[in-house]
Amino acid sequence: MSSQTLSHAAQSIDSSDETPLAGAQAALAGRQARPLRFITCGSVDDGKSTLIGRLLWDTKAVKEDQAATLRRDSTGKQNELGLPDFALLLDGLQAEREQGITIDVAYRYFATDRRSFIVADTPGHVQYTRNMATGASTADLAVLLVDARAGILEQTRRHATIAALMGIRQFVLAVNKIDLADYEEARFRAISREFREIALSLGVRQVTAIPVSALKGENIVLRGDGAMPWYDGPTLVEVLEKATQRTGQTTGFRLPVQRVSRPGEGFRGYQGTVAGGSIKPGDSVVVLPSGVEANVKAIVTYDLVRNAAVTGDAITLVLDRPVDVARGDMIAAIDQRPQTGRAFNARLVALSPDGIVPGKRYWLKAGARRQRVMVRPTASLNLTSGNWDDATFLSVNGIGTAELDFEDTAIFDAYETNRETGAFILIDPETLNTVAGGMIDGKRSRAGCFDALPDADRASITLPARLLEAFLKTEFARSHAGEIRVNGPEQVDEE
């Protein structure tokens, strides 16, 4: 049935006049790509909900029952084209519907016959940095929306900055409501030129600008030739279909070990998801932080004992000799190792109302590895000027740089080179909430850091644990956090 399915799906996407019905998602036949994840950003009223609603509607991702509810709920709220109010499709939570606001990141799903898509839909106003950072962390591409009449706003620049910071390297500028700007080509060209410059200044070269009317569905899924004969570029969906997946994994083999599997009879396997590079039996690997070396004996999965695994594969790795490996360790290519050390520099996005407090000890989780870390913010990004200003504290929604000091060895790649092994979250040890997302810039080695000191220049004192806590809270200890190493009675407050 697959060839039939394909042609049917293509047809239903091309013919705009038939009643779009529920759930007729394109193509049950196999898709040749992973789902593309993208994020949409825009200021309030730029038409973001309409755009996403339009994407879902025109690709027939709206289910029968949803469509029925939509028609009923939007009586009287229909737009000029007699279509339902798309925003109703998106505002799912009761509280939101009542207040007419969107409070959190929502994920939407749609597909064409070529590819499937996951949209992180983030609100344009409240807590936008926090929500955008969350949505952007897994996105391969960002769709930035502007109102054709208003052009680029300060908000646009902020959104682009955050997207770039989170590692997104493909932008689509959707110049929306072009119908209200008389479909004027000059206007569109001017806006896209201005945006291209912003993107370039952020290091993003892959930019596509598209004139669209989300309301009328022009250049979203279907072409808008009639109204814009001057535009011969792709539709939004065409760009999304062709977008590259940012694997970003330019490092060697990485396997953060999630669990050790010992079902018996001498089987011992290390389970995890390959976070970089590839591996095959016979390859030499190093176990970090111990530094013990071994060779790969087998790659086990439920289906097959495989002769190779690549980034993204969830596998069970068997080594050729008994070595000590625990959850949180990393198995890596022997000749392309990640950075290991106790001091790193990172960028942070503060997610909690308490902000990020200098010298406070947090839990840091990266991959399957969780450890104590002392965090000292050093600068914060002014999203208006684009400058990094000196800072010692990050307030909620703040973006900053920080020094991280660990009590035991940390293992990272720079986020630039590996999004999996270069990312982490910070967890508040009291509330246990996730309070920051972080991206590693690199290892820090400088004078004043404990590890940089020769043995002769170090001394130790021993204190009761409760005094230690108090000591670490003092101004003195905080301002010398990088020079103090804390040992033992470890993780008393863990359980």
Ligand X SMILES: Nc1nc2c(ncn2[C@@H]2O[C@H](COP(=O)(O)OP(=O)(O)O)[C@@H](O)[C@H]2O)c(=O)[nH]1
Structure tokens that stand for 253 in this block:
């083999």
Contact 269/301 with Cβ under 8 angstroms? no
One of 163, 357, 368, 402 touching another protein (CB under 8 A)? 368
Q: Closer CB to another protein, residue 230 or residue 267?
A: 267
Report the site for ligand X in 186-205 (rule: CB under 6 A). none
What is the amino acid identity at position 233? G
- Residue 486 interacting entry, from ligand X, another protein, none, C-beta within 5 to 8 Å by type: none
Exposed, middle or buried: residue 327 (CB in 10 Å: 0-12, 13-18, 19+)? middle
Report the site for another protein in 107-126 (rule: CB under 8 A). 107-109, 111, 116, 118, 121
3-class DSSP assignment, residue 53: helix
Contact 350/301 with Cβ under 8 angstroms? no
What number of other Cβ atoms are within 10 A of residue 268's Cβ?
15
95 binds another protein (CB under 8 A): yes
Shortest Å, Cβ 239 to another protein: 19
Contact 50/86 with Cβ under 8 angstroms? yes
One of 75, 302, 455, 457 touching another protein (CB under 8 A)? 302
Report the residue number whose CB is nearest to ligand X.
47
Q: Closer CB to ligand X, residue 137 or residue 213?
A: 213
Site string for ligand X, 170-189 (x = CB under 6 A): ------xx-xx---------
CA distance 443 to 339: 7
- Residue 447 interacting entry, from ligand X, another protein, none, C-beta within 5 to 8 Å by type: none
Residue 194: what are its φ and ψ, rounded to 5°?
A: -60, -40
444 binds ligand X (CB under 6 A): no
Q: Closer CB to another protein, residue 17 or residue 302?
A: 302
Residue tagged 């289910």 (tokens): 63
Q: Closer CB to another protein, residue 111 or residue 477?
A: 111
3-state helix, strand, coil in the chain (%, to 5): 25, 30, 45
Report CA dihedral (146, 150, 155, 156) to the nearest 10 degrees.
Answer: 40
Contact 395/387 with Cβ under 8 angstroms? no
330 binds another protein (CB under 8 A): no
Report the site for ligand X in 26-45 (rule: CB under 6 A). 42, 44-45
Nearest residue to 133 via CA among 405, 369, 435, 388: 435
Site string for ligand X, 116-155 (x = CB under 6 A): --------x-------------------------------
CA distance 194 to 203: 15
Shortest Å, Cβ 84 to ligand X: 11
- Residue 30 interacting entry, from another protein, ligand X, none, C-beta within 5 to 8 Å by type: another protein
One of 38, 112, 129, 130 touching another protein (CB under 8 A)? 130
Looking at the DSSP bridge assignments, the partners of residue 234 are none
Residue count, binding to another protein (CB under 8 A): 84
66 binds another protein (CB under 8 A): yes
247 binds another protein (CB under 8 A): no
Looking at the DSSP bridge assignments, the partners of residue 344 are 404, 443
365 binds another protein (CB under 8 A): yes
The interface region with ligand X, picked from 9-17, 208-216, 276-284, 402-410 by CB under 6 A, is 208-216
- Residue 378 interacting entry, from ligand X, another protein, none, C-beta within 5 to 8 Å by type: none
- Residue 214 interacting entry, from ligand X, another protein, none, C-beta within 5 to 8 Å by type: ligand X
Shortest Å, Cβ 169 to ligand X: 24
434 binds another protein (CB under 8 A): yes
CA distance 369 to 362: 14
Shortest Å, Cβ 142 to ligand X: 15
Report the site for ligand X in 82-111 (rule: CB under 6 A). 87
Which helix (H) or strand (E) segment holds residue 262: the answer is strand 259-264
Listed in sequence order, the residues at least 6 apart from 91 whose beta carbon sits closer than 8 Å to its beta carbon are 49, 97, 100, 101, 102
CA distance 172 to 139: 13
132 binds another protein (CB under 8 A): no
What number of other Cβ atoms are within 10 A of residue 357's Cβ?
18
Footprint of ligand X (CB under 6 A): 42, 44-50, 79, 87, 124, 176-177, 179-180, 213-215
